[in-house]
């Protein structure tokens, strides 16, 4: 071995940032089925598959769920309510003209604020606790709204995270790199490193990006690499990197 050469090692893994919907939690039933059931409770018969396809069509067309961080919590939650109301109006289409629409939407909105509407994705609990037990710092970065805080509390996960960042309170949403910068600032990682130097710590991000925003994704990946965050898409990747298994 040439002792004049510096031995370079990968920076240690400090922690893991997670997306929420589709990564930690998912709806108990398809959204279209839930919409159709609630509409039926108010006398409107509609097709669940049509509503499901309508949701998948309308959701990407919505403006980003991101409002100025200077707003009060009450102001933000009011804008969140209006944001989702517009989406449900578009999904229901002709049925939205019913005088029962406001009751339908209000029921849906509050239903999705409860753990009855969601379930933990398989292995989430053991994986998070396994990472926390091994000293990893955990966080959430999600294009969600303020209902997420109580959902995480309801599933007994909130206290496992050092930071929970939702786009509706940040004024920015993934894949905008700003939301990751703010999360990293809250965690005290990465962003103070000198340009041209390798990060002293490594982070994983577990979640999904909007594949239609390719250039935004590339920019985010470059940024995350610079501040020491690596992306992972499966819990198995994280467990393998952290050196543990949840299987018995």
**Total-model pTM:** 0.78
d(CA 20, CA 179): 14
Q: What is the pLDDT of residues 10-21, one digit of tens each?
A: 455 666 788 999
Residue 108 has pLDDT above 50, yes or no: yes
Q: Work out the pLDDT band at 48, boundaries 50, 70, 90.
A: very high
């Amino acid at each position: 071995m040439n002792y004049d050469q510096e031995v370079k090692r990968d920076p240690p893994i400090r922690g893991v940032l997670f997306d929420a919907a589709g990564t930690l939690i998912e709806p108990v039933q398809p959204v279209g089925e839930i919409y159709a059931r609630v509409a039926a409770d108010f006398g409107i018969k509609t097709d669940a598959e049509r509503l499901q396809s309508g949701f998948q069509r309308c959701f990407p067309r919505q403006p980003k769920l991101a409002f100025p961080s200077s707003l009060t919590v009450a102001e933000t939650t009011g804008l969140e309510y209006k944001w989702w109301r517009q989406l449900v109006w578009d999904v229901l289409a002709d049925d939205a003209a019913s005088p029962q629409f406001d009751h339908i939407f209000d029921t849906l909105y509050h239903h999705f604020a409860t753990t009855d509407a969601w379930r933990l994705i398989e292995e989430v609990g053991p994986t998070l606790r396994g990472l926390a037990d091994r000293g990893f710092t955990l966080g959430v970065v999600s294009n969600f709204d303020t209902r997420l805080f109580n959902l995480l509390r309801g599933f007994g996960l909130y206290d496992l995270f050092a930071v929970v960042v939702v786009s509706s309170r940040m004024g920015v949403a993934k894949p905008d790199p700003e939301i990751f910068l703010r999360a990293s600032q809250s965690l005290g990682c990465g962003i103070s490193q000198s340009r041209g130097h390798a990060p002293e710590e490594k982070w994983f991000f577990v979640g999904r990006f909007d594949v239609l925003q390719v250039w935004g994704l590339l920019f985010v990946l470059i940024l995350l690499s610079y501040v020491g965050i690596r992306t992972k898409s499966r819990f198995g990747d994280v467990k393998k990197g952290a050196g543990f298994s949840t299987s018995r």
